[in-house]
Amino acid sequence: MTPALELRNLTKTFALPVRNGWRSTHVNHHAVRDVSLTLPRNAILGLVGESGSGKTTTGMMAMRLVEPSSGQILVDGTDITTMDHTALKPFRRKMQVVFQDSYSALDPMLTLGQIVAEPLHIHGVGTPSEQTDQALNWLQRVGLDRSYGNRYPHELSGGQRQRVAIARALILRPTVLVADEPTSALDVSVKAQIINLLLDLQAEMGLSILFISHDLSVVRSLTDKVAVMFNGRVVEHAPTEAIFTDARHPYTRSLLDAIPVLNPRLRRTRTFLSRADLAASSPRLNQGELAAPATASPDPQLVSVAPDHLVEAIVT
Ligand SMILES: Nc1ncnc2c1ncn2[C@@H]1O[C@H](COP(=O)(O)OP(=O)(O)O)[C@@H](O)[C@H]1O
Ligand SMILES: [Mg+2]
């Protein structure tokens, strides 16, 4: 089946200005390097990695909110990489996003009913009264009462604001939802409620979610597959259980070791790899350790070590 979203060899290079004496020049910063990801239909793909590893830039490129330097974005099998604004509009409907700080995206002057109905309005879906009715239905669906339709964003708690942001993102029935750290600003109990809400809605709607997070315990409970990013590259990509029980890349292992463990007797010895160690940490694998043949190369490449399990490694 055609994947909901496919990213092929996506790269983003930012030109950062630097002053060199009296001359103004720039250096290229490679935020995302050759990232390929597939988000199947009706599935949740986790994108994890430390801050600055390129997760948000990847998610924003998938939505065409940041222009890629090279590579391709396919939505429902259609290449949208170079579509102009008009051609892109129907695809914008299919892709929505929820951020960590969605509050800043909610217009403080609008009622919650207006905020949730706005995407219908923008895309000209339904009459004004149908739009209002659907917005109130969605407020109910995300666990708020219809009466919230007349309230304003400042009256809400952090968790309630995220519920409104989710209602607004889903009212157009998108195929793909990019959720960028949607629970990072929330308390543990509220976080669990929002995760359960996303899980329920995903199952009900058959939604495909790219779930960006550095919170590995949330990722474990929510996702079907996980891609691990380090320094702009995907270093490991596997089904969620394989990531948590059979991680092969040292960077993935160091991330897992950093998960706080409540019972100290269960605490693992931490690896304490430095950035430099990690940068040079691609495992060396020989052909016998691979699930599929690869060409021997001194440069790291993504190779298949088990069905569906890719690791960046140097093949000898
Ligand atoms: N608009 C921008 N201009 C310059 N550099 C940027 C810009 N956006 C992101 N970056 C840089 O790209 C890298 C990846 O950032 P980001 O995608 O936000 O990572 P993450 O979401 O994993 O924390 C970082 O080094 C960041 O500083
Ligand atoms: Mg980010």
Question: Which two three-digit tokens encode residue 189?
Answer: 């109990």
pLDDT of residue 262: 53
Q: How confident is the model at residue 259 (pLDDT cuts 50, 70, 90)?
A: low
Residue minimizing CA distance to atom 7 of ligand 1: 14
> Is ligand 1 within 6 A of the CB of residue 152?
no
The per-residue b/e assignment along 187-213, b for 16 or more CB within 10 angstroms, e otherwise, is eeebbebbbebbeebbeeeebbbbbbb
CB of 54 within 6 A of ligand 1: the answer is yes
Indicate whether 269 pLDDT > 60: no
> What is the residue with the minimal CA distance to atom 3 of ligand 1?
14
Distance CA 235, CA 263 (A): 29
For residue 126, what are the CA distances in angstroms to 120, 132, 276, 316? Answer: 7, 10, 56, 60
Q: With CA atoms as reference, report the closest residue to 181 among 63, 46, 81.
A: 46
Dihedral (CA of 101, 105, 108, 112) sign = negative
Q: Which residues sit with Cβ closer than 5 angstroms to ligand 2, an ion?
A: 56
- Whose Cα sits closest to atom 2 in ligand 1? 14
Residue located nearest, by CA, to atom 10 of ligand 1: 31
Ligand 1 and 53: CB distance under 6 A = yes
| Residue 133 pLDDT level (bands cut at 50, 70, 90) | very high
Beta 78-79 vs 70-75: how paired, if at all?
Answer: antiparallel
Look at phi and psi of residue 53 and say left if phi exceeds 0, alpha if psi is from -120 to 50, else beta: alpha
Domains observed in the chain: 5-234 (3.40.50.300)
Q: Distance (Å, rounded) from C-alpha 104 to C-alpha 175?
A: 24
Residue 110: pLDDT over 80:
yes
Helices and strands, number each (H, E), in the chain = 10, 13
Q: Which of 17-21, 223-227, 275-279 has the lowest mean pLDDT?
A: 275-279
CA of 82 to the centre of ligand 1 (A): 22
Ligand 1 and 71: CB distance under 6 A: no
Of 237, 206, 224, which Cα lies nearest the Cα of 4?
206
Quote the pLDDT of residue 1.
Answer: 86
Does ligand 1 have an atom closer than 6 angstroms to the CB of 77?
A: no
At 168-223, the pLDDT tens digits run 999 999 999 999 999 988 998 999 999 999 999 999 999 999 999 988 989 999 99
DSSP letters, 211-254, are EE-S-HHHHHHH-SEEEEEETTEEEEEEEHHHHHHS--SHHHHH
**Dihedral angle over CA of 235, 240, 245, 247, nearest 10:** 0
Residue in the structure block whose two tokens are 């060199």: 20
Which residue would you say has higher pLDDT here, 294 or 71? Answer: 71
- CA dist., res. 230 & res. 55, Å (int): 9
Ligand 1 atom closest to Cα of residue 14: 4
Q: What atom in ligand 1 is closest to the CA of residue 57?
A: 17
Please indicate whether residue 55, judged by its CB atom, sits closer than 6 Å to ligand 1: yes
- What are the phi and psi torsion angles at 105 (to 5°)? -90, -10
**pLDDT, average across residues 87-102:** 92
